[in-house]
């Protein structure tokens, strides 16, 4: 291989590395936009909302119940099927997942006031942005915090399941507070990890385009969960 060919390959790798993280954020923004649009239209349109909630009984319909659990199914499908799914299929699944998540989030606009939802969303955006910059610019290796953050995340999930039956307001407050701290930390950790993937470190078998989608999914989940935890802490109910 000639020196010119080596230079061209290195140049292409460099371009891919520089574009990787920006593309991740572009896809994340697309997903958040889709979620916001679907959440808004389903919350203000009684006809659409009737597919999810039975207004006579006040309970969720079968479709509403499916919608609540569908996002988890999409995440599992994309995660476990990463190596088998093509990039176009993965991109479509991610877009559909974001839309379905938006539909499931439309319920929060029925519970909380619009002003508190907007305030918590802006607060989540600011926190996310600050920690994303911190994760990108810090020279400290955040890998060692990954296992600790995952332990706390598992603890938050288990405690949330327990509190689903206990319905303790004090425990809910503690869970939400810890959850905010966990997802703030995960934002910095995940951004640094994605930065390294873009630089060719920790690069797996999947193509760069598919890794962009999975990176966007990771940051999307960090943001959405941070927003929901803040809403549980500071949201004002109608």
For the segment 188-225, what is each residue's pLDDT rounded down to a tens digit?
A: 999 999 998 887 744 444 578 888 999 999 999 999 99
pLDDT attached to residue 202: 47
CA distances from 234 to 109, 172, 212, 229, 230 (A): 14, 12, 33, 9, 6
**Does residue 220 contact residue 31 with C-beta atoms inside 8 Å?**
yes
pLDDT attached to residue 16: 52
Average pLDDT over residues 61-73: 90
Strands (E), the chain: 53-54, 59-60
Dihedral angle sign, alpha carbons of residues 228, 163, 70, 55: negative
CB atoms within 10 A of CB 210: 20
Q: At what angle do helices 208-234 and 62-80 cross, to 10 degrees?
A: 140
Q: At what angle do helices 169-198 and 143-166 cross, to 10 degrees?
A: 150
Which residues face 59 on adjacent strands?
Answer: 54
Which residues are CB-neighbours of 94 under 8 A, at least 6 positions away? 27, 31, 78, 213, 216, 217
Whether the predicted pLDDT of 7 surpasses 70: no
pLDDT attached to residue 206: 54
Domain count, the chain: 1
Whether the predicted pLDDT of 8 surpasses 80: no
Whether the predicted pLDDT of 33 surpasses 70: yes
Which residues face 53 on adjacent strands?
Answer: 60
Most confident of the ranges 23-32, 107-116, 136-145, 192-201 = 23-32
Give the global pTM: 0.88
**Does residue 82 contact residue 15 with C-beta atoms inside 8 Å?**
no
Whether the predicted pLDDT of 53 surpasses 90: no
C-alpha to C-alpha distance for 75 and 185, rounded to whole angstroms: 21
Range of the domain at 182: 3-234
């Amino acid at each position: 291989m000639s020196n010119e060919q080596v230079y061209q390959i290195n140049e292409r790798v460099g371009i891919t590395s520089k574009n990787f993280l920006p593309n991740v954020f572009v896809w994340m923004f697309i997903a958040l936009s889709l979620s916001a649009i679907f959440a808004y239209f389903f919350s203000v349109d009684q006809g659409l909302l009737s597919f999810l909630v039975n207004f006579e009984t006040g309970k969720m319909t079968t479709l509403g119940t499916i919608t609540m659990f569908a996002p988890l199914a999409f995440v599992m499908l994309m995660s476990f099927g990463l190596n088998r799914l093509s990039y176009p299929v993965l991109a479509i699944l991610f877009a559909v997942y974001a839309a379905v998540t938006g539909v499931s989030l439309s319920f929060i606009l029925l519970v909380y006031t619009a002003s508190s939802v907007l305030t918590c969303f802006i607060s989540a955006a600011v926190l996310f942005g600050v920690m994303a910059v911190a994760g990108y610019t810090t020279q400290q290796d955040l890998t060692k915090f990954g296992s600790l953050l995952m332990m706390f995340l598992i603890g938050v999930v288990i405690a949330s399941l327990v509190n689903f039956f206990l319905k303790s307001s004090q425990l809910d407050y503690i869970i939400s507070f810890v959850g905010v701290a966990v997802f703030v930390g995960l934002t910095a950790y995940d951004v640094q990890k994605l930065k390294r993937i873009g630089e060719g470190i920790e690069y797996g078998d999947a193509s760069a385009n598919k890794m962009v989608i999975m990176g966007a999914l990771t940051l999307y989940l960090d943001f959405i969960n941070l927003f929901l935890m803040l809403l549980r802490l500071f949201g004002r109910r109608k």
